[in-house]
Chains A and B, each alone.
Chain A
Amino acid sequence: DSGVTQTPKHLITATGQRVTLRCSPRSGDLSVYWYQQSLDQGLQFLIQYYNGEERAKGNILERFSAQQFPDLHSELNLSSLELGDSALYFCASSVAGFQETQYFGPGTRLLVL
């Protein structure tokens, strides 16, 4: 157990819908990262928050957004969902920056039908 929690574990929804994925980092970690893992694309970095502020952006679609709250938990919002958004979404946390050990949560498996 890494200490990072994610909810829900599984999510099934329809195209065009909107969902919210939640992540709680390890105690003491200030950085939260979101990754998308699909079969053909490996692990893709989406976005990083550090102590409530957006710090780095990767290949995140405009239909996706995220935020980190004062208690440091983070939410990833996915809207206007498409079939291709079906994937495993991981959250990770670290004390501060990228060049430290990132601890991954168990992931949320999203299936868009």
Chain B
Amino acid sequence: GENVEQHPSTLSVQEGDSAVIKCTYSDSASNYFPWYKQELGKRPQLIIDIRSNVGEKKDQRIAVTLNKTAKHFSLHITETQPEDSAVYFCAASNFGNEKLTFGTGTRLTIIP
């Protein structure tokens, strides 16, 4: 089955700097890659997703890039703010076997 590895497990960034979280997947048939943000004590919420026919997608300060050849995708957060502090999960699925497989999460801390 699909295996998703996520790095780093923890990340501390000065407010205003950029943060990058990377994920690699094992199943070359995977074609859907969402990112979820989970604030402390709250539910995961989708923040951005990308499909395999697109190399990059942006939404304000958040962007995701996908490298199908290398089987990795990354989340980029620019101009970080204190409210960006949370745990971020990447995930992957493919159309034939649609189960979402999640990475182990990255705890992002924004230092004021």
Contacts and interface: CB of A to CB of B under 8 A. Distances in A.
Nearest to A97: B98
Contact of B95 (A56, A90, A99): A99
Nearest to A44: B102
A98 B93 contact: yes
Interface in A90-113: 90, 97-99, 101-107
Nearest to A107: B43
Interface residues of B, number: 22
Interface in A44-70: 44-45, 48, 56, 58
Interface residues of A, number: 20
Contacts of A43: 44, 89, 91, 102, 105
B32 A105 contact: no
A99 B93 contact: yes
A104 B100 CA distance: 14
A17 interface: no
Interface string B4-43: 0000000000000000000000000001101000000011
A47 B51 CA distance: 23
A68 B104 CA distance: 28
A102 B46 contact: yes
Contact of B43 (A45, A58, A90, A101): A90
B32 A98 contact: yes
B28 to A, nearest CB: 17
Interface of A: 2, 41-45, 48, 56, 58, 90, 97-99, 101-107
